[in-house]
């Protein structure tokens, strides 16, 4: 087997609308909704499905809690510029810019939390 790429992931959240607002407003993702009202966040060729934490759906991770994700997004803009924008929007940067090792090499990253406490890392490859 050869895995080519990640298609989507699921993030359990405590409040779907609060998460949609955060990710669309601060990370410029776009939201799409199914006919049943389920929400997903889209960026590039990937998506994040937002599920209510503890959702009673038979096929899910065994531990389905809000605030347990650690997500890294590679961005085109300088993380230093993004850091200024986030701070002006009232988002606390908990670390960075710092040097990190990404999947394909050295990167510079900043870190902050989403409304549920998921750790968000924004990075530029060096």
Distance CA 126, CA 122 (A): 13
Q: In 3-state terms, what secondary structure has residue 20?
A: helix
Distance CA 102, CA 124 (A): 9
Instruction: From the candidates 77, 95, 101, 121, give the one annotated as an active-site residue.
Output: 121
Pairwise CA distance, residues 66 & 30, whole Å: 21
Alpha-carbon span 121 to 114, nearest angstrom: 10
Cis omega (within 30 of 0) for bond into 97: yes
- For the question of residue 121 being annotated catalytic, the response is yes
Which residues are known catalytic residues?
121
């Amino acid at each position: 087997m050869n895995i080519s790429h990640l298609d989507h992931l699921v993030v359990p959240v405590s409040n779907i609308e609060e998460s949609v607002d955060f990710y669309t407003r601060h990370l410029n993702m776009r939201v799409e909704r199914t006919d049943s009202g389920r929400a997903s966040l889209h960026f590039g060729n990937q998506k994040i499905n937002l599920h209510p934490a503890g959702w009673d759906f038979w096929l899910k991770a065994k531990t389905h809690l809000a605030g347990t994700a650690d997500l890294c997004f590679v961005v085109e803009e300088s993380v230093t510029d993004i850091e200024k924008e986030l701070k002006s929007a009232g988002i606390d940067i908990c670390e960075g810019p710092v040097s990190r090792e990404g999947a394909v090499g050295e990167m510079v990253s900043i870190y902050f939390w989403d409304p549920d406490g998921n750790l968000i890392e924004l990075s530029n490859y060096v």
